[in-house]
Amino acid sequence: MTEHYLDNSATTQVSEASAKKAFELMRTNYANPSSLHSMGFAASKELEGARSQVAKALGADVSEIYFTSGGTEANNLAVLGAVNAKKRAGNRIITTAFEHSSVYETMLNLAKEGYDVVFIKPDSSGCINAKEVIDAVDSKTILISIMHTNNETGAINPIREIAVGAKRKNPSVLVHTDAVQAFGKTEVKPSKLFADLLSISGHKIHAPKGVGALYVKKGVRILPRSFGGKQEKKLRTGTEALPLIGAFGVAVSELDIQKNTETVKSLKTYLIDKLSALADITINSPEASTPYILNFSVKGIRSETMLHHLASKGVYVSSGSACSKGGKSHVLSALGFEDNRADSALRVSFSKHNTIEDCDALVCALEDGIENLARR
Amino acid sequence: MKEIVLIKLGEIALKGLNRFSFEDALKKNIKSTLYGLGYFKVSIAQSTIYVTPQSADVDMDEVCDRISRVFGIVSFCRACVCEKSMESIFEKAPDYLEDALATASTFKVEAKRSDKKFPLKSPEICREVGALLLEKFPHLAVDVHNPDVKVIVEVRDFGAYIHAGSIKGAGGIPVGTGGKAAILISGGIDSPVAAYMMAKRGVSLTAIHFASPPYTSERAEDKVQRLLRKVCRYAGPITMITVPFTKIQERIKDECEEELFTIIMRRMMMKISSIIAKKYECSALITGESLGQVASQTISAIACTDDASDMPVFRPLIGMDKEEIVQISRKIDTFDISIEPFEDCCTVFTPKHPRTKPVLKFVRYAEEDAKLYELIDEAVENVKITELRQSH
C-alpha cells in the first residue's frame, strides 16, 4: 500500500543530506565541541557553522541563537527565563488560549504561582485580535507570548502589530513568539516582527527530532533553567547535541520557502475544492492561515475513528495536535467550537514532498469513511 | 523601494589641502567593507558621500551595519530615494517610515532644502509631510522639542531623500591615512582594543602573534584569528604573522631566573616584532599594555621592555582602567572571544612572583648568558603568514 503522509506539522521526514550530516557527526567528527584538542576544535566549527546557518535564515546575528532540544524546551526557556528575569518589574503576562501546550501549560503553572496571566481568545476570524492584546497591556506587564502560526488550525497571528502596539504602550515589555510552525515555511525575521524571543524547531523542517533553537535579541536578558556547564553561553547548559544541531543546520540551508509554499498552496486549494464537494465537511482553518495546514471536521464521526480508518487506507493525518496524544483539544475549545465539531476535527498538514495523488487518496478514503463508518 | 546611504564626513573635512587623499581613502575603505554585498557606486558631492547600490536585492541592514564601523564617518543616514517632487515624497514616505514610526509615540519633520529651486520652502515641506504622516499613522503625535523619531526630508541636487534621522558613525580618521603599525596580539582582552584604537587614528595594521605549541594549542591561534577578524571590521584586512616561540620560551625556562621569565619573554617578543615590523614596512609597534595592570606593566618593567625595541611603541591603553577596556571590547564584540579559556604564550611558564622592578642591566646579562639572541633569526624565518578579512 502506498504511504500518503499528511501529518507534516507533527513531524517531517528527515532529508537525506540532513541525516548524512547527523551520521557523519556521530561516526567521523564525533568529538565534544568543548574538548580542547583538534578533534574538539573540528566539532566546534560544525557547531558554529550550524549556528550561522540558523542565524542567517532568521536574519539574526549568530550571538542571538541558542540551540535547545526542540520547540518545547525553547518555549519553556523563553517564557520561564523571561519571567524570572523580569519578575521584579511586574506580574502580568499575556498569552492566548490556543497556544501550543508547551506555552499553555507553562502559563497555567505561572498562574498557579500567582502571576496575573491573561489568556486572550481568538476572535470570530479564528486569529488573535491585536487590539485585544494591546488593550490588556499595562505598566505591570512583563511578557507577551503569542504563537506565530497555530499548530492545529494554521491560523496566523498578527505578531508584528501586537508587538509594535504593546511596546508603544509599555516599552519594557518582552515579546515572545512560538514560530515552530512558521519557521522555514514563511519568512520569519524577529527584527521585522519586533520579537525579543522566538522559538523554532528542527523536525518540522526535515531535520531530526530533538533539536530546536531560541532566538534572544541582543541586549535582552533571560535567566537559564539548567545549570552546570558553560555551553550556549550558560543559557542552555549540557553537551551540545552536535549530530542533531549539524543536521538542523543542513536542513535550514536546504529550505526553499518560495518554491515549497507554491507547492503546498496549490495542494491546499485543490483539497479545499475537493472537500467542499463532500457532504458533512466543515473547514475549521481560518482565512488567514498557513498553506501548510488544513483543519476540518467530519460531521458525526469522531476524529480518532476517522483517523484509524484513513490510516488503514495508507493515509496519515492527525486529530488535533499530535502533542496532546489524542486528548481533547484546548485549541478547538478556545475557538468556541461546540463539542461535536471539536471531537470530529482532523488536521492535514503538508510538506514539499506531498502531491495531488496524496490529496486524492485522502478524499477517496474520506468518502469511503463517511459512507461506511457508524455515526454517533 | 530604492535606498541609499548618505555619509557625513568627520574631521577630515578640516584637513586643508590633504583633504582629497583622506576622502579617497575613505571611499576606498567603504567599498572594501561592502565587499560581497553587491555592486555600489560611491561618490562625493556637497561634502557628503553617497553610497548607491547598483545591484538589486542588496541587504541594506548589513550595508549600514558595516558602514557604522568605518572610521572617518561622523554620522550617516539610510534614506529612501525620491524624485524631486512632493508627489513622489508623499507616495514613498508612509511605506518607508512605517518600521521606524511603528513603536514611536511622537515625531517631528525637518526639511533641508539645499536645492533652492524646489518650489516649496523647508517649513512648507515639514507641514505637508507632517500632516500626511499624522493621517497615515493615527497613533502618532507631533512633538517638536523631544520627538521619539525625527523624520528628515532632504532635497539635494540629484534627488530628494527621506530618512528617520542620522546614525552615529565610528568617528576617527580613515584607516590607511595614518601609516602602518604592527600590533602584538596574544588573545587577551586588551590587545584587540589597542588595535581598534590605533586603527581609529587611521593606522592600518599588521598583527604579530607568538605561538608555543604544544604549550599553546591550535584553538588559541584560531581564537586570535577570530579576534582579528572582528578587528578587521574596523581596520580592514589584516596580515597575521605567527611566530614560532616554543624554543625561546623553553630556553628562558631552562636558563633564566624564574622571577625574570615574564620580562625576558616580553623583551624577546619586542626584539622579534621590531625585525618583523620593519620587514613588513610598519613604522611602529602597538601593545595593549596598561600601566600597573600586571607585574610586567609597571613603569620599570615597561622601561625594560621598551629598550628591546628600536621603534616607537604605541600603548593606547596605558592610562585606562580594566573596566574601561572591557567596555570597548564589548562594543567591538571581542570580549566573548577574549575570555575563552585557551592558554596563550603569555600565560605558559608564568612565575609565581614576577619581578615588578627589574633592572635593565641584569636582565640583559641574563639574556646573554642564556644565549637567547641566537634563536631570533630562526624564529623570524619560520613565521607563518595568514591573510584575514572581516567576519560578521
> What CATH number is attached to the domain comprising A280?
3.90.1150.10
Mean pLDDT rounded to a whole number for chain B:
92
Q: Which residues of B touch A37 (CB under 8 A)?
A: 217
User: Any bridge partners for residue B77, and if so which?
Assistant: B6
User: What are the E-state strand segments in B180-248?
Assistant: 180-184, 204-211, 238-244
Q: Is B357 on the interface with A (CB under 8 A)?
A: no
> Is residue B101 domain-resident?
yes
Comparing alpha-carbon positions, the chain A residue that sits nearest to B102 is A164
Judged by CB atoms closer than 8 Å, whether chains meet at A164 and B104 is answered as: no
Instruction: Give which of A64, A135, A137, A164 to mutate to test B binding, by max B Cβ within 10 Å.
Output: A164
Q: What confidence score (pLDDT) does residue B130 get?
A: 95
Whether A102 and A85 share a structural domain: yes
Is residue A376 very low, low, confident or very high in pLDDT (cuts 50, 70, 90)?
Answer: low
Whether A261 and A232 share a structural domain: no
CATH number for the domain harbouring residue B153: 3.30.2130.30
pLDDT digits (tens, 9 = 90+) for A251-276: 999 999 999 999 999 999 999 999 99
Whether A164 and A297 share a structural domain: no
More confident residue, A372 or A246: A246
Is residue B84 very low, low, confident or very high in pLDDT (cuts 50, 70, 90)?
Answer: very high
pLDDT digits (tens, 9 = 90+) for B67-83: 999 999 999 999 999 99
Whether B222 and B359 share a structural domain: yes
- The amino acid occupying position B52 is T
**Rounded to an integer, what distance in angstroms lies between the CA atom of residue B121 and that of residue B126?**
9
Comparing alpha-carbon positions, the chain B residue that sits nearest to A164 is B103
Q: Is a pLDDT exceeding 90 seen at residue B382?
A: yes
| A323 is known as an active-site residue | yes
Q: Which residues of A touch B392 (CB under 8 A)?
A: 61
Whether A67 and A153 share a structural domain: yes
Question: How many angstroms away from the CA of B251 is the closest CA of chain A?
Answer: 26
Domain count, chain B: 2
Q: What confidence score (pLDDT) does residue A328 get?
A: 67
Grouping H, G, I as helix, E, B as strand and the rest as coil, residue B169 is: strand
Percentage of the residues of chain B whose pLDDT score is greater than 90: 77
Whether A194 and A139 share a structural domain: yes
Q: Which residues of A touch B219 (CB under 8 A)?
A: 36, 40-41
Is residue A320 very low, low, confident or very high in pLDDT (cuts 50, 70, 90)?
Answer: low
Instruction: Give which of B219, B335, B344 to mutate to test A binding, by max A Cβ within 10 Å.
Output: B219
Q: Which residues of A touch B222 (CB under 8 A)?
A: 41
Q: Give me the mean pLDDT over the B299-311 stretch.
A: 93
Comparing alpha-carbon positions, the chain B residue that sits nearest to A170 is B103
Residue A142 domain boundaries:
16-253
Q: Is a pLDDT exceeding 60 seen at residue B212?
A: yes
Question: How many angstroms away from the CA of B14 is the closest CA of chain A?
Answer: 37
Whether B383 and B300 share a structural domain: yes
Domain count, chain A: 2
Whether B249 and B383 share a structural domain: yes
Percentage of the residues of chain A whose pLDDT score is greater than 90: 86
Residue B29 domain boundaries:
3-170
pLDDT digits (tens, 9 = 90+) for B145-193: 999 999 999 999 889 999 999 999 999 999 999 999 999 999 999 999 9
Q: Is a pLDDT exceeding 60 seen at residue A323?
A: no
Q: What confidence score (pLDDT) does residue A322 get?
A: 47
Q: Is B54 on the interface with A (CB under 8 A)?
A: no
Examine the fold and report which residue of B147, B170, B193 is the final residue of a domain before the chain moves on. Answer: B170
Examine the fold and report which residue of B127, B150, B170 is the final residue of a domain before the chain moves on. Answer: B170
Whether B77 and B118 share a structural domain: yes
Whether A363 and A241 share a structural domain: no
CATH number for the domain harbouring residue B299: 3.40.50.620
Whether B10 and B79 share a structural domain: yes
Q: What is the DSSP letter of B350?
A: -
Q: What confidence score (pLDDT) does residue B231 get?
A: 97
Comparing alpha-carbon positions, the chain B residue that sits nearest to A165 is B103
Q: Is B139 on the interface with A (CB under 8 A)?
A: yes
> Is residue B175 domain-resident?
no
Is residue B13 very low, low, confident or very high in pLDDT (cuts 50, 70, 90)?
Answer: low
Q: Which residues of B touch A168 (CB under 8 A)?
A: 102-105, 139
Q: What confidence score (pLDDT) does residue A374 get?
A: 74
> Is residue B241 domain-resident?
yes
Report residue B59 as a C-alpha cell. Answer: 541587504
Q: Which residues of A touch B139 (CB under 8 A)?
A: 165, 168
Whether A281 and A226 share a structural domain: no
Comparing alpha-carbon positions, the chain A residue that sits nearest to B214 is A37
B residues 57-86 near A, CB within 8 Å? 61
pLDDT digits (tens, 9 = 90+) for A188-235: 999 999 999 999 999 999 999 999 999 999 999 999 999 998 899 999
Instruction: Give which of A168, A169, A194 to mutate to test B binding, by max B Cβ within 10 Å.
Output: A168
> Is residue B153 domain-resident?
yes
Judged by CB atoms closer than 8 Å, whether chains meet at B103 and A36 is answered as: no
Whether B160 and B185 share a structural domain: no
Whether A238 and A311 share a structural domain: no
Q: Is a pLDDT exceeding 60 seen at residue B310?
A: yes
Q: What confidence score (pLDDT) does residue B244 get?
A: 96
pLDDT digits (tens, 9 = 90+) for A326-337: 566 788 888 888
Judged by CB atoms closer than 8 Å, whether chains meet at A41 and B218 is answered as: yes
Q: Is a pLDDT exceeding 90 seen at residue A341?
A: no
Whether B215 and B258 share a structural domain: yes
Whether B156 and B251 share a structural domain: no
Mean pLDDT rounded to a whole number for chain A:
94
Q: Of A127, A323, A359, A364, which is the active-site residue?
A: A323
Q: Which residues of A touch B333 (CB under 8 A)?
A: 63
SS3 per-residue string spanning chain A:
CCCEECECCCCCCCCHHHHHHHHHHHHCCCCCCCCCCHHHHHHHHHHHHHHHHHHHHHCCCHHHEEEECCHHHHHHHHHHHHHHHHCCCCCEEEEECCCCHHHHHHHHHHHHCCCEEEEECCCCCCCCCHHHHHHHCCCCEEEEECCCECCCCCEECCHHHHHHHHHHHCCCCEEEEECCCCECCECCCHHHHCCCEEEEECHHHCCCCCCEEEEECCCCCCCCCCCCCCHHHHCCCCCCCHHHHHHHHHHHHCCCHHHHHHHHHHHHHHHHHHHHCCCCEEECCCCCECCCEEEEEECCCCHHHHHHHHHHCCEECECCCHHHCCCCCHHHHHCCCCHHHHHCEEEEECCCCCCHHHHHHHHHHHHHHHHHCCCC
Q: Give me the mean pLDDT over the B134-144 stretch.
A: 93
CATH number for the domain harbouring residue A172: 3.40.640.10
As for the ipTM of the complex, it is 0.77
Whether B300 and B187 share a structural domain: yes
User: How many CA atoms lie within 13 Å of A309's alpha carbon, on the beta-carbon side?
Assistant: 21
Q: Give me the mean pLDDT over the B23-50 stretch.
A: 92
Is the pTM for the entire model greater than 0.90?
no
Is residue B16 very low, low, confident or very high in pLDDT (cuts 50, 70, 90)?
Answer: confident
> Is residue B206 domain-resident?
yes
